[in-house]
Amino acid sequence: MRKLVSLVLTAAFAVSSCLSLAGCSSKPAETTAATTKAGETAQESKGTDAAPATGSIKVGAIYINSQNDTAGYTFAHHKGITEGMKQLGLDPSKDLYIVDNVPEDDEKVKQAIDQLAGDGCNIIFGISFGYINAMEEKAAEYPDIIFSHATGYKSNDKNFNNYFGRIYQARYLSGIAAGYKSLALKNDNIGYVSAWGVEYAETCSGINAFAMGARAVNPNAKIHVYEISTWGDQEKERQAAQVLIDTYKCCVIGQHCDSAQPQIVANEKGVFGCGYNSDMTKEAPKAHLTAAVWNWSAYYATAMKAAMTDKGSFMQSVGNYYQGLAAGLVDVSALSENCEPETAEAIKIAKDLMVSGKWDVFSGVKLFFSGKAGAVTAEQKNDALKTNKGEEKVAAGGASVGDDVIQGSMNYYVDGVTQVN
């Protein structure tokens, strides 16, 4: 689904669009009538205002889609919250209160927050970018509750933070898998179904990183981007993948959208794919290579532990959270048997370099992989980071662009990327 040139610039940009930066659906949905505990229906839940026991907390969560999703964006967040709770000895069936299918509508979000506050929640997570204004307002209204917002840019110094991560690093790794498959098939055309393109730095940086990973293996790879202009329309996701395969002869389909539909289409069409948010091998067993995934429990466990120990210092101890491979927040899913033999070695080389801090994706140093399985090597070459129009963004040998660019102002495609619609 959750960027900054500067706080002011990003605020103006994001508010004017009022759309999710984290891969969340903008499709309207009905808010559930009452909060539910994990695994319960709304009718079964009987929230209580009783204070939590010492060392325990009640956790609230507002989801854009259903807690019962089996893949995709909400699924990844729900999995991360429940896993993080278990790491801390919390019981999701007792301590987690959920309002799901909440659209990006301020009034609906406020209603969900009021429900969770009434249930006695000590910390409330909102996973969609469009929840940002309602959460900011309610954080002021409920100063004793911690509000934690995925992907946004707003916060205060008391009880309201935002969290996201370096998913572009994982996208580079999945691009390596795509590049090896394109070489094996002798087809340079790789497709990418994206909710948005250069309008948002999150989608733009992800596309660019995926392309650079693919071209580190296959320098002739061409990444064809089909923008569907929405996060969560499964029919548009299907149609885009079909066009990329039928019209542009793409042999691998990458994606930045909410569901597994692009991978399912790849499976139906006899090509391959790289998913997003969760391992989509189950949905596309003959097609899926790997997926750029979030291990959200890395953040959720950190945030809930801080809320359990000393919520008064939450903003000092956790603050606005932005981590990547090194913190275990992002990664790629287990490589499927559909991957080429060299894929695992190349991914390990690139991952180790990023985790160590010795190299990152958007610098003036590029990786070029060669060698057969068992002897894969990566040559580092000073090579300028250029747009697909030839504009130099980082000189050969130069340091990576800053986080403010990756998070907020990257609005160009790199060499090898073309938007087709």
Backbone angles phi, psi at 224, to 5 degrees: -100, 115
Per-residue pLDDT tens digits for 93-108: 999 999 999 999 999 9
> 303 pLDDT exceeds 50?
yes
Query: Token pair of 96, please?
Result: 């987690």
pTM of the model: 0.83
* Closest of 65, 136, 125, 53 to residue 96, by C-alpha: 125
DSSP assignment of 98-125 equals: EE-S--S-HHHHHHHHHHHHHTT-SEEE
In this structure, which amino acid lies at residue 284? A
Domains of the chain, start order: 7-165+297-326 (3.40.50.2300), 167-295+328-419 (3.40.50.2300)
CA distance 368 to 289: 20
Name, in order, each residue with C-beta under 8 angstroms of 61's C-beta and a sequence gap of 6 or more.
67, 77, 78, 81, 96, 97, 98, 99, 100, 116, 124, 125, 126, 127
CA distance 122 to 311: 9
Cα within 13 Å of Cα(410), Cβ side = 29
Mean pLDDT computed over 222-247: 95
Alpha helices, DSSP H, located in 276-402? 297-310, 314-317, 343-356
Q: What pLDDT is attached to residue 95?
A: 97
**Cα 185 to Cα 124, 179, 251, 278, 340, distances in angstroms:** 47, 10, 8, 25, 10
Among left, alpha and beta (phi > 0; psi -120 to 50; other), residue 200 is beta
Among left, alpha and beta (phi > 0; psi -120 to 50; other), residue 371 is left
Confidence of residue 333 (pLDDT cuts 50, 70, 90): very high
Confidence of residue 129 (pLDDT cuts 50, 70, 90): confident
**Count of positions (residues) in the chain:** 421
Beta bridge partners of 392: 386
Per-residue pLDDT tens digits for 52-75: 444 689 999 999 999 999 988 899
Q: What pLDDT is attached to residue 39?
A: 52
Q: What pLDDT is attached to residue 55?
A: 64
Cα within 13 Å of Cα(276), Cβ side = 32
Indicate the angle between helix axes 343-356 and 201-217, nearest 10 degrees: 130
> 362 pLDDT exceeds 60?
yes
Name, in order, each residue with C-beta under 8 angstroms of 30's C-beta and a sequence gap of 6 or more.
101, 103
Mean pLDDT across the chain, nearest whole number? 89
Indicate the angle between helix axes 261-269 and 234-246, nearest 10 degrees: 40
Mean pLDDT computed over 335-339: 98
Query: Token pair of 118, please?
Result: 């009434």
- Is residue 71 within 8 A of residue 288, CB to CB? The reply is no
Strands 288-294, 330-332: parallel, antiparallel or unpaired by DSSP? antiparallel
- Give the residue, 71 or 155, on which the prediction is more confident: 155
Residue 358: count of CB within 10 angstroms of its CB = 10
CA distance 98 to 88: 19
> 163 pLDDT exceeds 90?
yes
- Return the minimum-mean-pLDDT range out of 3-7, 76-80, 97-101: 3-7
Confidence of residue 37 (pLDDT cuts 50, 70, 90): low
Mean pLDDT computed over 35-55: 45
Mean pLDDT computed over 218-244: 95
Q: What percent of the chain has pLDDT over 70?
A: 87
CA distance 340 to 359: 24
Name, in order, each residue with C-beta under 8 angstroms of 402's C-beta and a sequence gap of 6 or more.
none
- Is residue 254 within 8 A of residue 191, CB to CB? The reply is yes
Q: What pLDDT is attached to residue 53?
A: 40
Helix (H) or strand (E) holding 217: helix 201-217
